[in-house]
Amino acid sequence: MNSHNFELAKQLRHDLHQHPELSNEEVWTKQYLMDFLKTHTTHFEIVDKGTWFYAIYRAGVDKPSIAFRADFDALPMDEVIDIPWASQYPGKAHKCGHDGHSATLAAFALEVDQNGADQNIFCLFQPAEETGDGAIQCVEFIDEHQIDEIYAYHNMSGLPFKTVAVKDGTMLCASKGMTIQLTGSPAHASQPENGKNPSLAIADIVQEIPKFISPELNEGLVLCTVVQIDLGEKAFGMSASKGTIRLTIRALHEKEMDRLQENLENFATAQAKEYGLQVAFEYQDEFPETANAKECSDEIRRSAKDNELEIIELEDAFRGSEDFGHFTKLTKGAYCFVGNGENYPNVHTSEYDFRDELIETGVTLFKGIARI
């Protein structure tokens, strides 16, 4: 990688880190990235799509079209470590490394711009990965430009520094946040029989969860995690009349997550009927499974090998989720991890900061995939 491009990318990363924006609020971030590419490239066309954008290097109408994606949203966390490029905004910080992902993709664009390519190269900059509704905003891009392949990486702690981890098939699990709301009727605490209290229905739902996620009933990993139960209020003279249970449902295979959701809905509906309650369901933070096409994960392996990057073959999918799977439902693609170091602070923790050296690793990997 050109040393000047690396220095530009590092400064870009630090600037993004100082100005974090949360999911679906990335106005400054998007414009800053667009301005960076307009300033430092001459052969890329920048296409502004409102909440997101992409940059195109055109090799020819008869050439394959390959895309690379980066996310650029931050997390609702405080910056507590002492670094020169610390977040300037309380309660917002790049604690997942999306600043580094975007800096990597921008640096890759500089390399393509200066060296040329024999394929049409698309650099897609995406918002709102953390909430799971960013990629779905961008999926039109795949069909509109007949993208043949799409790639992305994520930095990952716990893996040796600069290693490339990949697997065929499901790379990350499908997941979504599920809220079950149960509504009855109030009564005096001394006469609970005169009201409809949802507590027993909620207890029954929680106790039924192990049955639904049993390995004997599912092909792959299926999880249902209770994240919050909210029942009644601090009023000792009243019997509770409203209750909410919030769950994260997760599975290796999206079809099994859908079946878990259906089982939970059916059981909660039955419990509501038994106890005379009203029931409603809400969903958020919805992520599809991220599945790698073998020929594309093989391209990652080839690029890593050609550039003497150590390859780690993952035996199991990561339990976490990524909305990159929306793209791989429409075209071939692959997603991989690049190691932060085995003892480096985990993403989504206060002590974490993206390691600038991974910009060069990511660019090298992408250039190898694009055969530049």
For 91-108, what is each residue's pLDDT tens digit? 999 999 999 999 999 999
Domain ranges of the chain: 3-172+290-370, 180-286
pLDDT at position 343 is 97
- Where residue 15 falls among pLDDT bands split at 50, 70, 90? very high
Beta strand 169-172 with 290-292: parallel, antiparallel or unpaired? antiparallel
- The CATH class of the 180-286 domain is alpha beta
Which two tokens mark 185?
Answer: 């009727």
- How many CB atoms are located within 10 Å of the residue 64 CB? 14
pLDDT at position 260 is 98
Residue 187 CB contacts under 8 Å (≥ 6 apart), including other chains: 193, 194, 195, 197, 238, 239, 241
**6, 107 in Cβ contact below 8 A?**
yes
pLDDT in tens, 35-64: 999 999 999 999 999 999 999 999 999 999
Asked if 3-172+290-370 and 180-286 have one fold, the answer is no
The single-letter code of the amino acid at 251 is A
d(CA 226, CA 301): 38
pLDDT at position 147 is 98
pTM: 0.93
- How many CB atoms are located within 10 Å of the residue 246 CB? 17
pLDDT at position 186 is 96
List the one residue out of 29, 70, 7, 77 whose CA is nearest residue 345: 77
pLDDT at position 58 is 98
**14, 84 in Cβ contact below 8 A?**
yes
Domain 3-172+290-370, architecture per CATH: 3-Layer(aba) Sandwich (3.40)
pLDDT at position 149 is 98
Strand segments (E) across the chain: 44-48, 53-57, 65-71, 120-126, 149-157, 164-166, 169-172, 174-183, 187-188, 222-231, 238-239, 242-251, 278-287, 290-292, 311-313, 332-341
pLDDT in tens, 270-316: 999 999 999 999 999 999 999 999 999 999 999 999 999 999 999 99
Going 160 to 249 to 69 to 167, the CA torsion angle's sign is: positive
Percent of the chain with pLDDT over 90: 100
pLDDT at position 299 is 98
Angle between helices 199-212 and 254-275 (to 10 degrees): 150
- Where residue 346 falls among pLDDT bands split at 50, 70, 90? very high
Residue 183 CB contacts under 8 Å (≥ 6 apart), including other chains: 198, 241, 242, 243, 277, 278, 279, 280
pLDDT at position 202 is 98
- Where residue 222 falls among pLDDT bands split at 50, 70, 90? very high
Strand segments (E) across 86-206: 120-126, 149-157, 164-166, 169-172, 174-183, 187-188
pLDDT in tens, 142-190: 999 999 999 999 999 999 999 999 999 999 999 999 999 999 999 999 9
- Where residue 239 falls among pLDDT bands split at 50, 70, 90? very high
Residue 343 CB contacts under 8 Å (≥ 6 apart), including other chains: none
pLDDT at position 350 is 96
